[in-house]
A and B are shown apart, each in its own frame.
Chain A
Amino acid sequence: DAGVIQSPRHEVTEMGQEVTLRCKPISGHDYLFWYRQTMMRGLELLIYFNNNVPIDDSGMPEDRFSAKMPNASFSTLKIQPSEPRDSAVYFCASSSRGSTEAFFGQGTRLTVV
Chain B
Amino acid sequence: AQKVTQAQTEISVVEKEDVTLDCVYETRDTTYYLFWYKQPPSGELVFLIRRNSFDEQNEISGRYSWNFQKSTSSFNFTITASQVVDSAVYFCALLFSGAGSYQLTFGKGTKLSVIP
Binding site for B on A (CB under 8 A): 31, 33, 35, 42-43, 45, 48, 50, 55-56, 89, 91, 93, 95, 97, 100-104, 106-107, 109
Which residues of chain A come closer than 8 Å to B97, judged between CB atoms? Answer: 97, 100
Q: Choose among A42, A104, A109 the residue that contacts B45 (Cβ–Cβ < 8 A).
A: A104
Chain B residues 68-116 with CB under 8 Å of chain A are 91, 95, 97, 100-109
Known: A42-B108, A42-B109, A43-B106. A103 touches B47 (CB 8 A): yes
Is there an interface contact between A101 and B106, defined as CB atoms closer than 8 Å? no
| Residues of B bordering A, CB below 8 Å | 33, 35, 37, 43-45, 47, 50, 52, 91, 95, 97, 100-109
5 sampled A-B residue pairs with Cβ under 8 A: A42-B107, A91-B45, A93-B104, A101-B47, A107-B45
Contacts of A100 in B (CB 8 A): 33, 50, 52, 95, 97
User: Separation in Å of the A79 CB from the closest CB of chain B?
Assistant: 20
Residues from chain A with a CB closer than 8 A to the CB of B47 are 101-104
- B43 with A107: CB separation less than 8 A: yes
A42:B43 contact, CB within 8 angstroms: no
Pair A106/B102 contact, Cβ less than 8 Å: no
Asked whether B50 lies within 8 Å of A101 as measured between CB atoms, the reply is yes
Closest to A40 in B: B108
